[in-house]
Each structure stands twice: as C-alpha cells, then as structure tokens.
Amino acid sequence: MQTKTHLKGVIYASLAGIFWGMAGIASEYLFQDQHVSVYWMMGVKMSLSALTLLGLAYYLDGKKIFLVLKSFKDILGIVLFSILGLAGVQFTYSMTVNYSNATVATIIQTLGILPVIFYSAIIFKQLPGRKQWIATITALIGAWLLVTKGSFNQLAISKEAIIWGIFLMLTQAGNSVLPVDLLRRHNPTTISAWAMLVGGIVFEFIHPVWKSVPKFTPAVTLNMLFLIFIGTALSYYLFVKSLHLISATEATLLDTFEPLTAALLDFLIFKMQFNWAEILGSLLVISTVFILAVGSEENKNSDPKKEPLK
C-alpha cells in the first residue's frame, strides 16, 4: 500500500512539472505568435484558475475554505503572498517568456533558490553551508552560460528578458518564503486558490477583461484553455496533492520535468536551437536542485502544510 501511495505521489508531482512546462510553451505561442497581452491573460488566467480551485476546495473541505478570511493577519498574508509570490511569479514568468522563450524563463525561475539562501543568511543568521555555496556558484555559472551562450562580449538574450528574469527570481523566492506560516494552519489548495483570486482581481483592475480582447481562433482558444485549467489550476492541485504522498524534496526533484519539457517542446515546436553553452548552463542550473537535495533531512512523513508552494 505504501509503495502504491508513493508511486501515486511521484506521478502527481511529475505530471505537475510536465504540465507547467507545457504551459510555458502555450504562453510562448500566445504572447509571441498571437500577440495576446500578458496583462489581459494574467487577469483571465488567475481568476478562472482561482474559481476552479476554490470550487474544488469547497467540494473537498466545505465551508472550511472561508476560515482563512476570518483573520486579518491571514488575509494580509494571502495578499502579500499573491502579489509578491504566486501571482507575482506568474506575471514575471510570463513577461520573461514574452521577451525570451519558455525554456529560458523556466531555467531562470529555478534560480529563485539563490535569493532564498541569501534571505536565510540575513534574516535567520544562517550562513550558507558547503552545499549552499556549491549550489550558488553552480547556479551563477549556469546562468552566465545561459544568458551569454558562452560569449565574453555579448548577451544572448535581451536586456528586457534579463530584467524580468531578475524579478522572476525574486518573486519565485517570495513564492517559497511567504506562504510558509499560512500553510501551517490552512489547506495548501485553499491558500493557492485565494491567492490566485487576489491576483486575478488585481490584474483585472490593471487591465480589464474587455480591453485588448484577443482574436479567439481555435488554436488560441485551445492554448488558453490548457494554460488556465491544466497548466495552472490542475498543475497546482497535483503538486500540492503530491506533497501529501511524498516528501517535498522528492516533489521538488521531480519538478525538474518542467524545464526539460519546456526545452523539448521549444525544440520540437519552435525549432529552437541550443548551443553547448546553453545546454551546459541549463544543466548546471537544474543540478542545483539535486545538490541542495543531497543529505536533506526531509522524509515522506514531513508535514506538507509546512512546505512552500511552487
């Protein structure tokens, strides 16, 4: 029984990573080929994904999903987590895709571990250990190779992509750090849903749904539906579900399916070509996940509510 449960968790986490990678490709198609506004898509995606997850959470937990709204501290926590974390990382990821491609954006997102290491060192006075230093240096070398293609005198991606990539790293760090306290007291799916709803509302104020409405061709509609319901709502649910069945370390390691899926589909669909420096740089960045996982104290019985969301 334990083996079947563990296998189910592995499948959930793997599918989440694969769907996230596919969502990156869907975003690349919508933003670059069809010129769909990132701001318009964010409001629609976050709102509909939130309503889907809230409906699912209500089906599973009933009125318990509203308990988080009874505390001003929790409401403030959700708002901060949404803007600086979950919705923030979705937006900065989309903008990075818009100015580069899904593979680069997904690899840069992995670098969000670096601000977390520095945050722990400054706030909690936890100086990086040998693993953290190795991971940091490896990630920085990988990032340099990725953005320069190994050249010493030019960048391989636009300055806009680098700027949004930096914000992506920071919001990915916020996505890991900000919800930890909330997850100790509330269901992760519920927290994800409310944070997405906040993000959807914010982006609807920034860019109302009736402005810059894209042309709904069959291909555009299909990609949008996939991005909203599979690449966002279902992926988050599967990843959170996996944390109840396997350790967070295992789930994070399996999340490397995301950049691998994005790179494979970029190659197959958009005929993206990668030179040796980009391939090596990507592998070095991805390897930081494995470096940090070596010797981890986590086990399969760790409390999922203490683990950060993606």
The closest alpha carbon to 165, from 13, 256, 285, belongs to 285
pLDDT at residue 124, rounded to an integer: 74
C-alpha–C-alpha distance, residues 146 and 153, integer Å: 14
Residue identified by tokens 């993206």 is: 272
Could you give the angle at which helices 102-110 and 159-177 cross, rounded to 10 degrees?
40
Name the E strands within the chain: none
For residue 258, CA distances in Å to 198, 246, 263, 295, 309 come to 25, 18, 9, 23, 15
The closest alpha carbon to 100, from 150, 143, 55, 156, belongs to 156
Which amino acid is present at 32?
Q
Contact 28, 97 (CB under 8 A): yes
Stretches in the chain below the pLDDT threshold 70 = 1-2, 295-310
pLDDT at residue 304, rounded to an integer: 40
pLDDT at residue 149, rounded to an integer: 85
pLDDT at residue 91, rounded to an integer: 97
Q: What is the pTM of this model?
A: 0.90
C-alpha–C-alpha distance, residues 207 and 40, integer Å: 6
pLDDT at residue 76, rounded to an integer: 96
DSSP state of 271: -
Which amino acid is present at 306?
K
**How many structural domains is the chain composed of?**
1
Q: How many degrees, rounded to 5, is the angle at CA 197 between CA 91 and CA 30?
A: 40
The two structure tokens encoding residue 210: 């009736």
For residue 63, CA distances in Å to 5, 33, 244 come to 28, 43, 21
C-alpha–C-alpha distance, residues 130 and 135, integer Å: 9
Determine how many CB atoms are found less than 10 A away from the CB of residue 259.
27
pLDDT at residue 23, rounded to an integer: 97
Range of the domain at 64: 2-306
